[in-house]
Amino acid sequence: MISAKISKFVLFLTIVTDNFMNEGNNIPFPVLFNPFKHHRNFVLETLKTQDMDRITLLLEAVCNNYIDIYTGDLTPRDIGHEITGILEKSQLLQKTDFDRTIGNGYLQVELKDQSEWIVRKSDNPERYVHVHPARTGSLVIRFKGSTLKTIYMLKACSAASEDLPSLEEVNRVRSEVPLSPIKKLEHGKGLLRCYEKFF
Protein backbone atom coordinates (compact mmCIF):
# COMPACT_ATOMS: atom_id res chain seq x y z
CA MET A 1 0.00 0.00 0.00
CA ILE A 2 2.79 2.42 0.98
CA SER A 3 4.88 1.52 -2.10
CA ALA A 4 1.85 2.11 -4.34
CA LYS A 5 1.37 5.58 -2.80
CA ILE A 6 5.06 6.37 -3.28
CA SER A 7 4.87 5.27 -6.93
CA LYS A 8 1.85 7.51 -7.52
CA PHE A 9 3.64 10.43 -5.83
CA VAL A 10 6.77 9.92 -7.94
CA LEU A 11 4.61 9.81 -11.10
CA PHE A 12 2.89 13.04 -9.99
CA LEU A 13 6.24 14.80 -9.45
CA THR A 14 7.49 13.56 -12.82
CA ILE A 15 4.41 14.92 -14.60
CA VAL A 16 4.70 18.30 -12.82
CA THR A 17 8.41 18.56 -13.71
CA ASP A 18 7.80 17.49 -17.32
CA ASN A 19 5.03 20.06 -17.77
CA PHE A 20 7.19 22.83 -16.24
CA MET A 21 10.18 22.08 -18.49
CA ASN A 22 8.11 21.75 -21.67
CA GLU A 23 5.97 24.83 -21.08
CA GLY A 24 9.05 26.84 -20.08
CA ASN A 25 10.56 26.08 -23.49
CA ASN A 26 7.35 26.69 -25.45
CA ILE A 27 7.16 23.07 -26.57
CA PRO A 28 3.66 22.66 -28.00
CA PHE A 29 1.10 20.31 -26.52
CA PRO A 30 0.82 17.34 -26.55
CA VAL A 31 4.59 16.78 -27.01
CA LEU A 32 6.70 15.61 -24.06
CA PHE A 33 10.41 16.25 -24.62
CA ASN A 34 13.20 16.63 -22.06
CA PRO A 35 15.71 19.00 -23.71
CA PHE A 36 18.17 18.74 -20.82
CA LYS A 37 18.37 15.03 -21.49
CA HIS A 38 18.32 15.01 -25.30
CA HIS A 39 19.28 18.44 -26.75
CA ARG A 40 22.95 19.50 -26.83
CA ASN A 41 22.44 23.24 -27.40
CA PHE A 42 19.90 23.37 -24.59
CA VAL A 43 22.31 21.59 -22.25
CA LEU A 44 25.15 24.00 -23.12
CA GLU A 45 22.93 27.02 -22.48
CA THR A 46 21.66 25.57 -19.20
CA LEU A 47 25.18 24.91 -17.92
CA LYS A 48 26.08 28.55 -18.67
CA THR A 49 23.03 30.22 -17.16
CA GLN A 50 21.70 28.09 -14.29
CA ASP A 51 23.03 27.77 -10.76
CA MET A 52 24.38 24.52 -9.35
CA ASP A 53 21.21 23.70 -7.39
CA ARG A 54 19.12 23.87 -10.55
CA ILE A 55 21.62 21.78 -12.53
CA THR A 56 21.76 19.15 -9.79
CA LEU A 57 17.97 18.93 -9.83
CA LEU A 58 17.91 18.51 -13.61
CA LEU A 59 20.55 15.77 -13.40
CA GLU A 60 18.15 13.63 -11.37
CA ALA A 61 16.18 12.97 -14.58
CA VAL A 62 19.32 11.73 -16.38
CA CYS A 63 19.59 7.96 -16.02
CA ASN A 64 22.92 6.11 -16.10
CA ASN A 65 22.05 4.10 -19.23
CA TYR A 66 22.92 5.17 -22.78
CA ILE A 67 21.31 8.43 -23.87
CA ASP A 68 20.90 9.80 -27.39
CA ILE A 69 21.46 13.54 -27.77
CA TYR A 70 20.42 15.71 -30.71
CA THR A 71 23.25 17.97 -31.95
CA GLY A 72 21.44 19.95 -34.65
CA ASP A 73 20.15 23.53 -34.74
CA LEU A 74 16.41 23.03 -34.33
CA THR A 75 15.17 24.38 -31.01
CA PRO A 76 13.03 22.23 -28.68
CA ARG A 77 10.06 24.32 -29.82
CA ASP A 78 10.90 23.69 -33.50
CA ILE A 79 11.12 19.96 -32.87
CA GLY A 80 7.77 19.92 -31.12
CA HIS A 81 6.07 21.89 -33.90
CA GLU A 82 7.46 19.65 -36.64
CA ILE A 83 6.39 16.49 -34.85
CA THR A 84 2.86 17.75 -34.12
CA GLY A 85 2.63 18.75 -37.79
CA ILE A 86 3.60 15.24 -38.90
CA LEU A 87 1.09 13.66 -36.52
CA GLU A 88 -1.65 16.04 -37.61
CA LYS A 89 -1.12 15.18 -41.29
CA SER A 90 -1.34 11.50 -40.38
CA GLN A 91 -4.49 12.13 -38.30
CA LEU A 92 -2.72 10.94 -35.14
CA LEU A 93 -2.60 14.15 -33.12
CA GLN A 94 -5.76 13.53 -31.11
CA LYS A 95 -5.17 11.36 -28.05
CA THR A 96 -7.68 8.64 -28.95
CA ASP A 97 -6.23 8.29 -32.46
CA PHE A 98 -2.66 8.38 -31.14
CA ASP A 99 -3.29 5.80 -28.40
CA ARG A 100 -5.13 3.45 -30.74
CA THR A 101 -2.42 3.55 -33.41
CA ILE A 102 0.74 3.65 -31.29
CA GLY A 103 -0.31 1.50 -28.33
CA ASN A 104 2.90 0.18 -26.77
CA GLY A 105 4.84 0.61 -30.01
CA TYR A 106 6.46 3.65 -31.60
CA LEU A 107 6.83 5.71 -34.78
CA GLN A 108 10.09 6.90 -36.30
CA VAL A 109 9.85 10.25 -38.07
CA GLU A 110 12.31 12.44 -39.99
CA LEU A 111 12.40 16.21 -39.57
CA LYS A 112 13.43 18.88 -42.09
CA ASP A 113 17.10 18.76 -41.04
CA GLN A 114 17.09 14.99 -41.67
CA SER A 115 17.32 14.18 -37.97
CA GLU A 116 15.29 11.13 -36.94
CA TRP A 117 13.06 10.90 -33.90
CA ILE A 118 11.21 8.21 -31.96
CA VAL A 119 7.60 8.96 -31.01
CA ARG A 120 6.04 6.95 -28.19
CA LYS A 121 3.10 7.12 -25.81
CA SER A 122 3.86 8.70 -22.42
CA ASP A 123 2.12 8.39 -19.04
CA ASN A 124 1.48 12.12 -18.96
CA PRO A 125 -2.23 12.72 -19.75
CA GLU A 126 -1.59 16.20 -21.14
CA ARG A 127 1.71 15.55 -22.92
CA TYR A 128 1.04 12.06 -24.20
CA VAL A 129 3.43 12.23 -27.19
CA HIS A 130 6.88 11.34 -25.83
CA VAL A 131 9.73 12.09 -28.27
CA HIS A 132 13.48 11.51 -28.22
CA PRO A 133 16.24 11.25 -30.88
CA ALA A 134 16.62 7.96 -32.77
CA ARG A 135 20.02 6.47 -32.05
CA THR A 136 20.48 5.47 -35.70
CA GLY A 137 19.74 8.92 -37.09
CA SER A 138 22.02 11.75 -38.14
CA LEU A 139 22.83 14.66 -35.83
CA VAL A 140 22.99 12.44 -32.76
CA ILE A 141 25.66 11.44 -30.28
CA ARG A 142 25.31 8.60 -27.79
CA PHE A 143 26.95 8.29 -24.39
CA LYS A 144 26.22 6.71 -21.03
CA GLY A 145 24.19 8.86 -18.70
CA SER A 146 26.80 8.45 -15.96
CA THR A 147 29.44 9.91 -18.30
CA LEU A 148 27.17 12.80 -19.27
CA LYS A 149 26.40 13.61 -15.64
CA THR A 150 30.13 13.77 -14.97
CA ILE A 151 31.01 16.12 -17.83
CA TYR A 152 28.00 18.36 -17.11
CA MET A 153 29.14 18.77 -13.50
CA LEU A 154 32.71 19.40 -14.63
CA LYS A 155 31.62 22.13 -17.02
CA ALA A 156 29.25 23.70 -14.51
CA CYS A 157 32.06 23.88 -11.95
CA SER A 158 34.64 25.34 -14.37
CA ALA A 159 32.75 26.92 -17.24
CA ALA A 160 35.60 29.25 -18.24
CA SER A 161 38.27 26.55 -18.42
CA GLU A 162 39.26 25.19 -21.82
CA ASP A 163 41.57 22.54 -20.39
CA LEU A 164 40.66 18.88 -20.21
CA PRO A 165 39.72 17.79 -16.69
CA SER A 166 42.17 15.91 -14.48
CA LEU A 167 41.41 12.57 -12.88
CA GLU A 168 41.19 14.31 -9.50
CA GLU A 169 38.59 16.77 -10.81
CA VAL A 170 36.60 13.99 -12.45
CA ASN A 171 36.39 11.89 -9.31
CA ARG A 172 35.56 14.91 -7.16
CA VAL A 173 32.43 15.74 -9.18
CA ARG A 174 31.51 12.06 -9.51
CA SER A 175 31.39 11.85 -5.72
CA GLU A 176 28.85 14.69 -5.73
CA VAL A 177 26.43 13.15 -8.26
CA PRO A 178 27.05 10.46 -6.73
CA LEU A 179 28.97 8.01 -8.92
CA SER A 180 31.86 5.63 -8.31
CA PRO A 181 35.40 6.94 -8.94
CA ILE A 182 37.27 5.90 -12.07
CA LYS A 183 40.88 4.67 -12.16
CA LYS A 184 42.24 6.46 -15.22
CA LEU A 185 41.51 8.83 -18.12
CA GLU A 186 42.50 8.10 -21.73
CA HIS A 187 42.60 10.72 -24.49
CA GLY A 188 40.07 10.02 -27.24
CA LYS A 189 38.29 7.40 -25.16
CA GLY A 190 35.44 7.21 -22.69
CA LEU A 191 34.86 10.30 -20.59
CA LEU A 192 37.45 12.49 -22.30
CA ARG A 193 36.05 11.61 -25.72
CA CYS A 194 32.61 12.62 -24.51
CA TYR A 195 33.98 15.87 -23.04
CA GLU A 196 35.79 16.80 -26.26
CA LYS A 197 32.82 15.93 -28.49
CA PHE A 198 30.30 17.75 -26.34
CA PHE A 199 32.22 20.96 -25.57
Domain layout of the chain by residue ranges: 2-39+72-139
> Could you report the per-residue pLDDT of 151-186, keeping only the tens digit for each?
999 999 887 677 899 999 999 999 998 899 999 999
Kindly calculate the radius of gyration of the chain based on its CA atoms and give it in whole angstroms.
Answer: 18
The CB density around residue 154, as the number of other CB atoms within 10 Å, is: 23
Distances in Å between the Cα of 116 and the Cα atoms of 69, 120, 134, 197 are 11, 13, 5, 20
* Confidence class for position 22, pLDDT limits 50, 70, 90: low
pLDDT digits (tens, 9 = 90+) for 72-87: 999 999 999 999 999 9
> Is the pLDDT confidence value at 125 over 60?
yes
Report the mean per-residue pLDDT for the chain: 88
Buried residues in 19-58 as b, exposed as e (16+ CB within 10 A): bebbeebebbebbbbbbbbbbbbbbeebbeeeeeeebbeb
